[in-house]
Amino acid sequence: MSTRPQPPIPPEGEGLPVAPGHPIPPIDIRAVFTALDLYRSLGRLEKATEVLEAKVARQEHDLNGLGKVAHTASMLGKIAVVVTAPVAATIIYAVLVFIYHAVERLLK
């Protein structure tokens, strides 16, 4: 079993060697990791934006449906008032006529 020689550990403050004699400074490594974190964050933001756009579209659809329901309810309420007002007036008139005749009989 052969073992590969391990590269020497760089002294404190030096980076990992990219090529013989050319180490990567720690600041560059941090920059690469920061760039990767930003890339991942942008990916999550894009996904969140897509989800929010879908939810906004759904809520807009739901609100349009509720608006139609409210308009229909308003129209049915107006129709109910138009239909029930004469019926209620007729009933009240009949009750008043009944009371008038009942009182007239009592007074005779």
Tokens read off for 37: 């974190």
- Could you report the per-residue pLDDT of 7-66, keeping only the tens digit for each? 555 555 555 555 566 677 778 788 888 888 888 888 888 888 999 999 999 999 999 999
**Using CA atoms, how far apart are residues 52 and 48, in angstroms rounded to an integer?**
6
Residue 32 is part of which domain span? Answer: 23-107
pLDDT at residue 45, as a whole number: 87
Q: Tell me if 13 is assigned to some domain.
A: no
- Could you report the per-residue pLDDT of 58-75, keeping only the tens digit for each? 999 999 999 999 999 999
- Please tell me whether the overall predicted TM-score, pTM, comes out greater than 0.95 for this model: no
Q: Tell me if 16 is assigned to some domain.
A: no
**Using CA atoms, how far apart are residues 16 and 19, in angstroms rounded to an integer?**
9
Whose tokens are 């990567």? That residue is 24
Pairing of strands 17-19, 22-23: antiparallel
Q: How many domains does the chain have?
A: 1
Q: Tell me if 49 is assigned to some domain.
A: yes
Contact in structure between 89 and 97 (CB atoms under 8 Å): no
Q: Tell me if 17 is assigned to some domain.
A: no
In this structure, is the dihedral angle defined by the CA atoms of residues 72, 75, 80 and 81, taken in order, positive or negative? positive
Q: Work out the burial of residue 24: count CB atoms within 10 Å of its CB; fewer than 13 is exposed, 13-18 middle, 19 or more buried.
A: middle
